[in-house]
Structure 1
Amino acid sequence: MSLDPVKWNKRASLLYAVGVWTVFGSYGYYRYTHKNDPPVEMPIEEEDNRPNVKKYETTHSKSTVVYRENFVPYSTRLLNLFRSPNESSPDGQRNEEQK
C-alpha cells in the first residue's frame, strides 16, 4: 500500500483551511453578537481591617484569605492521630508553664 503524497497534501490543506475559516468565522460571529454589550462594572470593595483577614494583590488577581479563630491546621490534626498518647502535646506544656 503506497500513499500518494499529492492526495495527502490536498486533504491536509483542505482540513487546515476548514479549521482556519472556522476560527475566523467564530471570531466574526462573536464580535457581531457582542458588539452592543454594556461594559462590566466591578463593585467597589470596602476596606476590611480585621486582624484575621489577609489580602494578597498581584497585577493579575486579588485574593482575600479569612483565617478563623482557634483553627487547628489539618496537618496538625493528622499528626495528632499518629502521636502516642504518652507524648505530651506542645499546648499541654504551655498550659503547665502558665499555671
Structure 2
Amino acid sequence: MHFKDLLRWNMRMSAVYAVGMWTMIGSYAYFRYTGRYEDRPVEPVEMLVNPNEVVFETAYTKTTIVYKEDFVPYGTRIYNFISSFSGGPETGDK
C-alpha cells in the first residue's frame, strides 16, 4: 500500500466516525428537545404474593420470580452435561 492510499482510508474512516458521532449527538438532542426522552426515575415496587414468589412492577413491565426448592438452573444443567463428555478424573474412566 502506498502512503496516499493510507491517507485516503484515514480520511474515509474519519468521515464515517464523524457522521456517526453527529448522528448520535443529534438524535439525543432531538429526543431531549421534543420530550420523548425524559429522565424519570423508575423504582420497582416489590410485592410478596407468597413466600416463594416475588413480583417486581415498573411502569411498563411486571416480572414474577418463582423460587423452587432443589431447582438446578439450566446453565448448570448444560454445563454438567457437556463436562460429562470430557472424561475428567471424577468420572471414573480409569
The answer to whether the superposition gives a TM-score over 0.5 is: no
User: TM-score, structure 1 length as denominator?
Assistant: 0.42
User: TM-score, structure 2 length as denominator?
Assistant: 0.44
Which structure: larger Rg?
A: 1
Task: Tell me which protein shows more strand as a share of its residues.
Answer: 2
